[in-house]
Amino acid sequence: MKLAIAQLNLMVGAIEANAERVIELANRLAAEGVDLVVFPELTLVGYPPEDLLLRHECLQRVETALARIREQVCGITLVLGYPGERDGARYNLAAAIRDGELLCEYRKRELPNYSVFDEKRYFAAGEDTGLFEQGDLRFALVVCEDIWVDTPVREAAAAGAQVVLTLNGSPYYRGKVRERERLVGKLAARHGVSLVYVNQVGGQDELVFDGASFVCAADGRVALRCVQFEEAVEVFDIDAGGAPAMRPLPPWLDDLEEVWRALVCGVRDYVGKNGFHGVVLGLSGGIDSALTLALAVDALGARNVEVVSMPSRYTAEISNADAAEQARRLGVDYLSIPIEPAFQALLDMLAEPFAGRPMDVTEENIQARIRGLLLMAISNKSGRMLLTTGNKSEMSVGYATLYGDMNGGFAPLKDVPKTLVFALARWRNREVEVIPERVITRPPSAELRPDQQDTDSLPPYEVLDEIIERFVERDESVEEIVAATGFDRAEVERMTRLVLRAEYKRRQAAPGIKITARAFGRDWRYPIVNGC
């Protein structure tokens, strides 16, 4: 029997367009002699649909699209996911359909309600096993979280299933891909079933889905693996006992390339799916904006990227030179707008209320907000989305200016710690140096006052990033962090207080791409007002 994996980049809410893709692909595969094709979780509505599911019209559109698929696809068994109301409740469903006949409709049993997931808000949990037969084989359906516990697959195997088909909307974070394969391989071997794992691919808001669909034989070995971060349709054979044919596996991406591909995918889909024809960003001569520019060019192409340098009285000449040089190397449109006239004009306007008061962070923020104003104006006039360039380290402790450098529609580096920014910059330069070496080696500075460096306000980034990882991603206490690292207790306390105090800024920040186990956004839900 010939089976196919349909690892697709679907758009949330584009129900009719998603259905058309299913119909077109299924009929093409049927003509090529494929017997069964498996699509991802919630194929028709896209994942995650969130509160779209609360609109009755959304479910009506799904039912209309499903009826159309049943009418227009023949000669192949379709396995796909969709939401639906059954017996007075809403379920996350997976179905097997052949020649218009519903062979099986399975209700997802395990509803994740942690990290980025909130499925108990939308769905009721199913209880039954989803089985159907084709030829001499018995198949079972499960959906995503069902494989992270033992029971659904164990019960399917006990009911005689030889092949388990799992439909997934599993978002990416570092290290998760290999974890999935290990888990599924052990599950397949434990219950003696082949397991076909189909995941979606592409960016949706702050989530990126890496694809990486695969097939495990009943002994736990991986028989087939799809590429990451690209659409793929893979056809493979299974024998009369349900065993998949083995084939050579593509190598894993290394860690930095995997992160880079995730960021590129997230930028490309967020900009493109929102209907923008390009992006604009401020290029300071520092490493964050340099890395953001390289990402934008890889995601969208140089002709769709515009950069603006906005030097002030405190900007070093080498910053101006490095910004211009990177723009030249990457072939993007480059514009320089000095902010001194606007800065001086505002200082003059504020002379009376500021009289007798020393210069402080207020004047620094004015510079950042002038730049934010200029970039938003160019974004509005050009129709290009503004990318903001801040990283996770800065967003953690509030080292950013509201309505200034935080302005933008999307923040590609929002979940990228500063130490990883440096590593990615060196990785991107491995073959062709697109980021001038001096940008990477110079001490980081916001250049908002004379001789300013980040370490004036923050510990070294190697220290800060470990504190953030332990406090934000692992929920470790100050005591646990100090015991594990030996860092100065007062410094750890100061940084963790800054993390909690900066929540009001993060609530107003642009969305960004999740690449760590716990990102700011839907993954982190702290009260703005708190007594911690």
User: How much is the pLDDT for 450?
Assistant: 79
pLDDT for 96: 97
Are 142 and 164 a contacting pair, CB within 8 Å? yes
Q: What is the 3-state secondary structure (H, E, C) of 156-178?
A: HHHCCCCEEEEEECCECCCCHHH
Tokens (6 digits) for 81 = 């996911």
pLDDT at residue 76, as a whole number: 97
Q: Nearest to residue 364, comparing CAs of 444, 458, 442, 446?
A: 446
**Where exactly are the structural domains of the chain?**
2-247, 257-458+502-506
The two tokens of residue 476 are 């470790």
Task: Give tens-digit pLDDT for 307-316.
Answer: 999 999 988 8
pLDDT at 453: 79
> Which residue has 């068994």 as its token pair?
77
Mutual orientation of helices 287-300 and 418-428 as an angle, nearest 10°?
Answer: 50
How many whole angstroms separate alpha carbon 8 and alpha carbon 36? 16
**Which of 400, 411, 388, 402 lies closest to 515, judged by CA?**
411
The pLDDT value given to residue 127: 94
The pLDDT score that the predictor gives to residue 26 is: 97
How many angstroms separate the CA atoms of 346 and 353, rounded?
12
Is residue 525 left, alpha or beta, with left meaning phi > 0 and alpha meaning psi from -120 to 50?
Answer: beta
pLDDT at 458: 86
Give the integer Cα–Cα distance in Å for 390 and 144: 33
- Confidence check: pLDDT of 451 > 90: no
Is 449's pLDDT higher than 80?
no
Strands 194-199 and 2-7, by their bridges, are unpaired
Please name the amino acid found at residue 416. Answer: V
- C-alpha–C-alpha distance, residues 46 and 26, integer Å: 18
Residues forming the active site = 41, 108, 144
Place of tokens 């000449």: 317
Q: What is the DSSP string of 212-249?
A: --EEE-TTS-EEEEPPBSS-EEEEEEB-TTSPBPP-PP
- When pLDDT is averaged across residues 383-402 and rounded to a whole number, the result is 95
pLDDT for 29-67, tens place per residue? Answer: 999 999 999 999 999 999 999 999 999 999 999 999 999
Q: What is the CA radius of gyration of the chain?
A: 26
d(CA 417, CA 287): 12
* CATH of the domain spanning 257-458+502-506, picked from 3.40.640.10, 3.40.50.620, 3.30.565.10, 1.10.340.30: 3.40.50.620
> Has residue 507 got a pLDDT over 90?
yes
More confident residue, 102 or 316: 102
**517 exposed, middle or buried (CB, 10 Å; 0-12, 13-18, 19+)?**
middle
Report the percentage of the chain scoring pLDDT > 90: 90
Q: Is the pLDDT of residue 483 over 80?
A: yes
Band the pLDDT of 257: cuts 50, 70, 90. very high
Please calculate the CA angle 213-214-216 and round it to the nearest 5 degrees: 155
pLDDT score, position 455: 76
Distance CA 224, CA 416 (A): 31
Stretch 240-248: mean pLDDT: 93
Residue 522 has what pLDDT?
Answer: 86
Average pLDDT (464-486) is 95
Has residue 406 got a pLDDT over 80?
yes
Tokens at 428, concatenated: 């991107």
User: In this structure, what token pair is assigned to residue 461?
Assistant: 């980034």
The CB-side HSE value for 166 (13 A sphere, CA atoms) comes to 31
Alpha carbons 197 and 181: distance in angstroms, whole number: 9
Residue 409's pLDDT band, with cuts at 50, 70 and 90, is very high
Q: Which of 169, 200, 178 is nearest to 8 (CA)?
A: 200
Residue 114 has pLDDT above 90, yes or no: no
pLDDT tens digits along 144-190 = 999 999 999 999 999 999 999 999 999 999 989 999 999 999 999 99
The shares of helix, strand and coil residues in the chain, as percent rounded to the nearest 5, are 40, 20, 40
Mean pLDDT of the region 414-441:
95
- Of the CA atoms within 13 Å of residue 283, those in its CB half-sphere come to 33
Angstrom distance (rounded) from CA 521 to CA 181? 27
Paired with 307 in beta bridges are 281, 334
Cα three-residue angle 308-379-313, rounded to 5 degrees: 35
Q: Report the candidate in 425, 266, 287 with the shortest Cα–Cα distance to residue 279.
A: 266
Instruction: Look up the pTM and report it.
Output: 0.94
Segment (H or E) for 131: strand 130-134
The pLDDT, as a whole number, for residue 454 is 75
Looking at this protein, which amino acid is placed at residue 497?
R
Task: Look at residue 316 in the predicted model and tell me its pLDDT.
Answer: 86
Range in 20-24, 114-118, 240-244, 373-377 with the lowest mean pLDDT: 114-118
Q: Which CATH superfamily is domain 2-247 in?
A: Carbon-nitrogen hydrolase (3.60.110.10)
Which residue type does 469 have?
Answer: E
pLDDT above 70 coverage of the chain, percent: 99
- DSSP output for 369-418: HHHHHHHHHHHHHHTPEEBP---HHHHHHT-S-TTTTT-SSBBTTTT--H
Q: In sequence order, what are the residues at sequence separation of 6 or more whose Cβ sits closer than 8 angstroms to the Cβ of residue 303? A: 278
Residues 80 and 95: their CA atoms lie apart, in Å, by 6
